Structures are given as C-alpha cells and as structure tokens.
C-alpha cells in the first residue's frame, strides 16, 4: 500500500538532469519534507504548487535518499506531451507508466541497424552488482588507457531495472555524462530516462555497440538495490544474467566483484555473497573475474577487517578476497580469474572522479577496497580490448 501525503512546495532546491529536489510543507502537519520530482513525468514543480506525494519509503526510513516522491500536481493539469514517435511503455501498468521511443522501435532511426544486430564483436562488458561501482569502473578504465597511451574509452552505461527505474534519480550518471566520462546511458527493461531506451539488456548492449559506438559497456542496476539477507533474494542476482547476455552476443564479459573491507556483515566482508551467487550460480557462460591485488602499502586500512590499523591489513584483505574468488574460477569454477594490481595510483585515479563515490553509505576513505575492486575491472577491460 502507498502512504499518501499532500502539501505545498515552498522552495526549489537542487536540480540535475531529469530531476528536481524541493521542500514541501505537508498539509495538516507542522513539518516539511524533501521531495523529488521528475519533470518529464509530472511537469515542473514550482514554489506555491500543490502536490500529491508518495511518502511510503520515506516514512519507513528506506533508502530513497530521504525523499518523498511527487506523484502529481493537484492545482493544475500538466499539458499533454507533444505528439512524437515511440510506443514502448516503461513502468507498465503502474499509475506513472510512460511512453518512450525505444532505440529499436520501428519508428526509431536506429531500427534498421538493430533489426538483425546479433554481435558485439568482442566489446568488453563490465558487469557490476551495485550502481556505485559505475564511476569506479570508468575511473579504472580511464587510468589504464592513459597508462597505455590510448584515448579515454567511449563508455556506455547499460542500466538494468533492479534498482531505481528512472535514470534521472542518479546524480552519478548526470555528473559522469557532464564530465565526458560516460557517452550515453541506455535504460533497459522497466528502467527509463536514459539517452536511449531498450527493451532488454541484450538490446541495450547491442545499442551500446552499434549506436553509441562504445569501446566499453558497463552494466549495473540503478541506485537503490534491494536485498533481503537471503541467498537469492537480492536484485543484484541479475548481474549473472547480464554476463550471460554479454557472452551470447559475442562480447567479452568481465565480472566486477562486490568487495568490502568495512561492511559489518560477515556475508559482505571481502567478496560479497551476492557476487558469489550471481557469478557462481547464475552466470552460466565463462567470464573474466577480476580479483584486486591490494598493495600492502596502500594508505589507511580496510576498516573493519581488523580491530586496529596495521601493516598487514591490506594483505589480509587481499588473501581473503583471493580465497573467496577461487570458488568462481578454474579449476573449481567456470570463470577465468585475473589478478590486477590495486595500488596507490589507482586510488589517486578514484580521487579524481568527477562525482562523489559512495557505496552503502560509505565513501572512498571509509571503504576504499570497494571502489578499488570495481576500478580493477575497468583496468582489465581496457587492457584486453
């Protein structure tokens, strides 16, 4: 069920591509809330506007960034969208279903290219569980290209629908595109709001290659993954399916491990059980599993892995991660293990990212291992391209 609230907008706050943050005074309550609206769905929200809010996740304290979501303006009808091509419906049969032009729609200028497209021609495809891995993967790829004397790779982000459905929710995507780190966002499944819309991860990957002309595709869910603390009940299980899609289309699938040195939960310390399940049980096609080889001389400590900082903390984490990843790689598993150095130079590259790095509420300094593990997947993808 939905927890409804109504209120009046008093202030328009931050804006980024496709999203607007505002302050709303709730009707009948002496308090304000932060609200997020998507102008492409509900029109512009301005001070004085009366709005209907979905406050369900906010009231439950769930990970929506602390927002109520604007469902509609109640003081005026938003004008109908201008007539245009496209008949793909995303968020189908929900009250906010939206019609978009699919990249492979019959009305799309790319339809003829994609109608019989069936091959990625070896395009490296890095697959990650969490959305927070995206900027780190790209940082690693750019660092590797610079070291090899190559131009920075042209990157397409293929967003699955396991987390946020609107790509507009992600400030990271907006910032990466603005900085030229990501060429295009392709939203797949029920996700929408990307530069290109696709029906499936398969068509999203084909669009990345044939339409965007990407040198590298990164596949991950949008922000706000869902997990239940069970072996199979997490949205990142789709990472295994994405590796299968990359392989069946003739791409080069690269698995980015979800790693933490700071997560208090044993199942997520070192290599997360999410990666072990998605890549070990769901991914049926062989892939390169990139294992970070942490430099013992890295500054700081991987947080909760040890009770106090010491010179062996990074080595201990590296050993733990390598042992856990062994279950995925030959001879025990079907994948190829690749160890890639995670050193101070790569940490510097992460510090140079144009967007804030954050995973599960922890920034780069609080859990550097998480971002280094994603970055080495980007390094490997460029090195083998």
CATH of the domain at 34: 2.40.50.220
DSSP secondary structure code for residue 278 in this structure: I
- Clarify whether residues 60 and 140 are in a common domain: no
Looking at the structure of the chain, the number of domains it has is: 2
Question: pLDDT at position 62, please?
Answer: 72
Residue 252's alpha-carbon distances to 15, 215, 263, 310, in angstroms, are 37, 11, 30, 38
- Average pLDDT, integer, range 104-133: 96
Would the pLDDT of 272 be above 70?
Answer: yes
Domain membership of residue 207 (yes or no) is: yes
Q: What is the pLDDT of residues 172-198, one digit of tens each?
A: 999 999 999 999 999 999 999 999 999
Over the chain, what is the mean pLDDT? 93
Domain membership of residue 100 (yes or no) is: no
Higher pLDDT, 313 or 32: 32
Q: How confident is the model at residue 60 (pLDDT cuts 50, 70, 90)?
A: confident
- Clarify whether residues 197 and 304 are in a common domain: yes
- Clarify whether residues 193 and 338 are in a common domain: yes
Q: How confident is the model at residue 64 (pLDDT cuts 50, 70, 90)?
A: low
Domain limit, last residue, from 51, 73, 95: 73
Question: pLDDT at position 308, please?
Answer: 45
Domain membership of residue 287 (yes or no) is: yes
Domain membership of residue 95 (yes or no) is: no
Would the pLDDT of 309 be above 80?
Answer: no
- Clarify whether residues 217 and 327 are in a common domain: yes
Sheet holding 288-294, edge to edge: 196-197, 184-187, 155-160, 216-221, 124-127, 252-256, 288-294, 336-342
Question: How many CB atoms lie under 10 A from the CB of residue 118?
Answer: 10
Would the pLDDT of 338 be above 60?
Answer: yes
Question: Which residues does residue 21 pair with via DSSP β-bridges, in sequence order?
Answer: 36
Question: How many CB atoms lie under 10 A from the CB of residue 84?
Answer: 9
Paired sense of beta strands 88-90 and 98-100, if any: antiparallel
Contact in structure between 170 and 223 (CB atoms under 8 Å): yes
- Clarify whether residues 162 and 26 are in a common domain: no
Question: pLDDT at position 301, please?
Answer: 64
Question: pLDDT at position 361, please?
Answer: 86
Contact in structure between 266 and 194 (CB atoms under 8 Å): no
Domain membership of residue 79 (yes or no) is: no
SS percent in the chain: helix, strand, coil, step 5: 30, 25, 45
Q: What is the pLDDT of residues 135-149, one digit of tens each?
A: 999 999 999 999 999
Give the least confident one: 178-192, 227-241, 262-276, 358-372. 262-276
Residue 27 domain boundaries: 4-73
Residue 343's alpha-carbon distances to 66, 256, 274, 318, in angstroms, are 35, 17, 25, 12
- Average pLDDT, integer, range 247-274: 91
Whole-angstrom distance, CA of residue 7 vs CA of residue 54: 11
- Clarify whether residues 169 and 276 are in a common domain: yes
Angle between helices 133-147 and 344-351 (to 10 degrees): 120
6: which 2 tokens? 């109504």
Q: How confident is the model at residue 81 (pLDDT cuts 50, 70, 90)?
A: confident
Domain limit, last residue, from 40, 73, 106: 73
Domain membership of residue 102 (yes or no) is: no
The residue count of the chain comes to 385
Whole-angstrom distance, CA of residue 4 vs CA of residue 59: 10
Q: What is the pLDDT of residues 290-306, one digit of tens each?
A: 999 999 888 866 755 54
Among the listed residues 227, 155, 163, the one whose alpha carbon sits nearest the alpha carbon of residue 192: 163
Would the pLDDT of 57 be above 60?
Answer: yes
Task: Report the SS3 class of residue 37.
Answer: strand
Buried (b) or exposed (e) across 348-376, using 16+ Cβ within 10 A? ebbeebebebbbbebebebbbbbbbbbbb
Give the least confident one: 49-63, 74-88, 306-320. 306-320
Would the pLDDT of 337 be above 60?
Answer: yes
- Average pLDDT, integer, range 204-218: 98
Domain membership of residue 340 (yes or no) is: yes
Single pTM value for the model: 0.94
- Clarify whether residues 46 and 122 are in a common domain: no
Question: How many CB atoms lie under 10 A from the CB of residue 237?
Answer: 18
Give the least confident one: 126-140, 148-162, 253-267, 276-290. 253-267
Question: pLDDT at position 306, please?
Answer: 45
- Average pLDDT, integer, range 80-100: 91
Would the pLDDT of 55 be above 70?
Answer: yes
Residue in the structure block whose two tokens are 């019959």: 106
Question: pLDDT at position 311, please?
Answer: 54
Buried (b) or exposed (e) across 25-34, using 16+ Cβ within 10 A? ebeeeeeebb
Domain membership of residue 91 (yes or no) is: no
- Clarify whether residues 62 and 167 are in a common domain: no
Give the least confident one: 148-152, 230-234, 275-279, 286-290. 230-234
Residue in the structure block whose two tokens are 């603390």: 229
- Average pLDDT, integer, range 257-271: 86
Among the listed residues 64, 67, 3, the one whose alpha carbon sits nearest the alpha carbon of residue 37: 67
Whole-angstrom distance, CA of residue 281 vs CA of residue 335: 11
At residue 17, φ and ψ (nearest 5 deg) are -55, 115
- Average pLDDT, integer, range 116-121: 96
């Amino acid at each position: 069920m939905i927890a409804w609230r109504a209120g009046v907008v008093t202030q328009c706050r931050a804006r980024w591509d496709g999203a607007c943050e505002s302050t709303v005074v709730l009707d009948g309550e002496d308090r304000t809330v932060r609200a997020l609206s998507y102008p492409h769905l509900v029109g512009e929200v301005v001070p004085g506007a009366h709005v209907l809010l979905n406050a369900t996740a906010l009231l439950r304290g769930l990970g929506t960034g602390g927002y109520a979501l604007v469902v509609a303006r109640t003081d005026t009808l938003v004008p109908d969208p201008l007539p245009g091509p496209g008949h793909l419906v995303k968020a189908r049969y929900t009250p906010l279903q939206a019609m978009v032009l699919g990249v492979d729609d019959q009305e799309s200028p790319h339809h003829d290219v994609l109608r019989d497209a069936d091959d990625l021609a070896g395009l490296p495809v890095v697959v990650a569980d969490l959305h927070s891995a995206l900027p780190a993967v790209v940082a690693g790829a750019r660092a590797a290209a610079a070291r090899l004397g190559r131009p920075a790779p042209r990157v397409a982000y293929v967003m699955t629908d396991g987390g946020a459905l609107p790509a507009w929710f992600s400030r990271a995507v907006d910032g990466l595109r603005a900085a030229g780190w990501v060429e295009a966002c392709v939203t797949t499944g029920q996700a929408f709001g990307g530069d290109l819309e696709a029906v499936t991860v398969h068509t999203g990957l084909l669009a990345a290659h044939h339409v965007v002309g990407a040198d590298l595709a990164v596949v991950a869910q949008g922000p706000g993954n869902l997990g239940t603390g069970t072996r199979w009940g997490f949205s990142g299980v789709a990472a295994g399916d994405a590796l299968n899609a990359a392989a069946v289309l003739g791409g080069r699938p690269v698995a980015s491990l979800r790693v933490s040195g700071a997560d208090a939960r044993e199942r997520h310390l070192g290599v997360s059980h999410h990666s072990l399940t998605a890549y070990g049980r769901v991914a049926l096609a062989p892939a390169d599993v990139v294992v970070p080889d942490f430099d013992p001389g890295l500054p700081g400590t991987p947080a909760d892995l040890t009770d106090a900082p010491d010179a062996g903390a990074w080595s201990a984490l590296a050993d733990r991660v390598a042992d856990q990843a062994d279950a995925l790689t030959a001879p025990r598993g079907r994948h190829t293990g690749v160890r890639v150095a995670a050193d101070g130079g790569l940490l510097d590259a992460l510090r140079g990212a144009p967007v804030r790095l954050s995973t599960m509420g922890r920034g780069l300094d609080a859990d550097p291992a998480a971002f280094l593990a994603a970055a080495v997947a980007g390094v490997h993808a460029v090195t083998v391209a």
